[in-house]
């Protein structure tokens, strides 16, 4: 059996951790990504919670939900992201702080003694599950933590054939920017290298301080690429039914222009034994 276990694959392990070691840079990079925050916040308000968010990071989505008076349990692997979340919480009123519980751990194994009517896995966190066994372990945890009539909602980037075909040696540059922790001006380039056998996109982010090019460093991000029909099958065979798939947090169906696919799934009702066995006619 082919097994790509990130804990035995240093590159994958690094690819699911490195990007999250610099929460200030992360926050700066995604400051303009707001549609997902609005979508999840309104979903949470409609639902009422409590909510479990896998991959809560520094609270970009969980904190606006907690500010609505809704209780959130956030699970994340990254100590740095959770520390940044705690710093943000210190600036919040006590009522908001009391709404948040943070758990450091791997989403494939964390056990909480609670079920939630709404379980979220936000902003590509699911793309850090690199093979079928990862997904199965994770979906079993979701199943154990969602109420029987609850929802499991997640969003993932749609694989783009053009993007996956990019030349791995080509640098995709953007204008220099200030590194938030130091204020240093850095040149920034990204390299994209897609492994079609494992369906993993490796993104190498290269940073080069303008005044000190020798101090350049790189950060790796590894994202599994899930085709929609593959995800649907994984959900189906792991006990979920898909209720809805949204395009870019709006109502539209998935199409070639979709950037983020938003999946709304529910635990599948078990058919009763009498219906499972066909009766002789």
Ligand X SMILES: C[S@@+](CC[C@H](N)C(=O)[O-])C[C@H]1O[C@@H](n2cnc3c(N)ncnc32)[C@H](O)[C@@H]1O
Select from 95-103, 117-125, 206-214, 251-259 the region that touches ligand X (CB under 6 A). Answer: 117-125
Q: Does the protein bind ligand X through residue 155 (CB under 6 A)?
A: no
Q: Does the protein bind ligand X through residue 22 (CB under 6 A)?
A: no
Assess whether the previous peptide bond of 145 is cis (omega < 30° from 0): no
Residue 190 half-sphere exposure toward CB, CA atoms < 13 A:
13
Binding mask 24-63 for ligand X (x = CB under 6 A): -------------------------------xxx--xx--
The SS3 call for residue 6 is: helix
By CB under 6 A, name the one of 81, 146, 158, 201 that touches ligand X. 81
| CB-closest chain residue to ligand X | 57
Q: Does the protein bind ligand X through residue 123 (CB under 6 A)?
A: yes
By CB under 6 A, name the one of 122, 219, 238, 258 that touches ligand X. 122
CB 75 within 8 A of CB 55: yes
Stated length of the chain? 281
Q: CA geometry: angle at 41 spanning 36 and 46, to 5°?
A: 130
Cβ-proximal residues to 86 (8 Å cutoff; 6+ apart), any chain: 102
By CB under 6 A, name the one of 100, 102, 107, 119 that touches ligand X. 107
Cβ-proximal residues to 211 (8 Å cutoff; 6+ apart), any chain: 184, 185
Q: Does the protein bind ligand X through residue 125 (CB under 6 A)?
A: yes
Nearer Cβ to ligand X, position 87 or 215?
A: 87
Residue ranges of E strands in the chain = 51-54, 72-76, 100-104, 116-121, 146-157, 172-178, 185-195, 200-209, 217-224, 240-247, 260-267
The SS3 call for residue 4 is: coil
By CB under 6 A, name the one of 41, 49, 66, 76 that touches ligand X. 76
Nearer Cβ to ligand X, position 61 or 265?
A: 61
DSSP letter at 9?
Answer: -
Q: Does the protein bind ligand X through residue 222 (CB under 6 A)?
A: no
Question: What is the closest distance, in whole angstroms, from the C-beta atom of residue 55 to ligand X in the complex?
Answer: 3
Select from 44-52, 104-112, 207-215, 248-256 the region that touches ligand X (CB under 6 A). Answer: 104-112
CA–chain centroid gap for 69, Å, is 23
CA R_g for the chain: 20
Select from 73-81, 182-190, 201-209, 264-272 the region that touches ligand X (CB under 6 A). Answer: 73-81
Rule CB under 6 A: which residues touch ligand X?
16, 20, 55-57, 60-61, 75-78, 81, 106-108, 122-125, 128
């Amino acid at each position: 059996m082919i097994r790509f276990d990130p804990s035995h694959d240093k590159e994958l392990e690094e690819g699911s951790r490195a990007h999250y070691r610099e929460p200030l840079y992360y926050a700066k990079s995604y400051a303009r990504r707001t549609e997902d925050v609005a979508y999840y916040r309104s979903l949470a308000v409609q639902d009422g919670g409590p909510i479990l968010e896998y991959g809560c990071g520094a609270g970009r989505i969980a904190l606006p939900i907690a500010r609505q008076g809704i209780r959130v349990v956030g699970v994340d692997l990254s100590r740095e992201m959770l520390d940044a979340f705690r710093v943000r919480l210190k600036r919040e009123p006590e009522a908001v702080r009391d709404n948040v519980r943070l758990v450091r751990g791997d989403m494939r194994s964390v056990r909480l003694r609670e079920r939630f009517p709404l379980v979220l896995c936000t902003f590509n966190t699911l793309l850090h599950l690199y093979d079928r066994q990862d997904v199965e372990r994770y979906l079993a945890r979701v199943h154990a933590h969602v109420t029987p009539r609850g929802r499991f909602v997640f969003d993932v980037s749609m694989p783009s054939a053009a993007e996956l075909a990019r030349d791995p040696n080509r640098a995709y540059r953007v204008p220099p920017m200030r590194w938030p922790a130091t204020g240093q001006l850095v040149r920034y380039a990204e390299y994209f290298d897609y492994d079609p056998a494992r369906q993993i996109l490796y993104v190498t982010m290269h940073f080069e301080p303008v005044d000190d090019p020798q101090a350049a460093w790189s950060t790796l991000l590894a994202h599994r690429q899930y085709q929609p029909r593959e995800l649907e099958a994984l959900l189906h065979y792991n006990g979920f039914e898909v209720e809805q798939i949204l395009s870019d947090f709006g109502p539209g169906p998935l199409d070639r222009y979709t950037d983020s696919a938003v999946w709304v799934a529910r635990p599948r009702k078990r058919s009763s034994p009498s219906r499972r066995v066909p009766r002789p006619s």
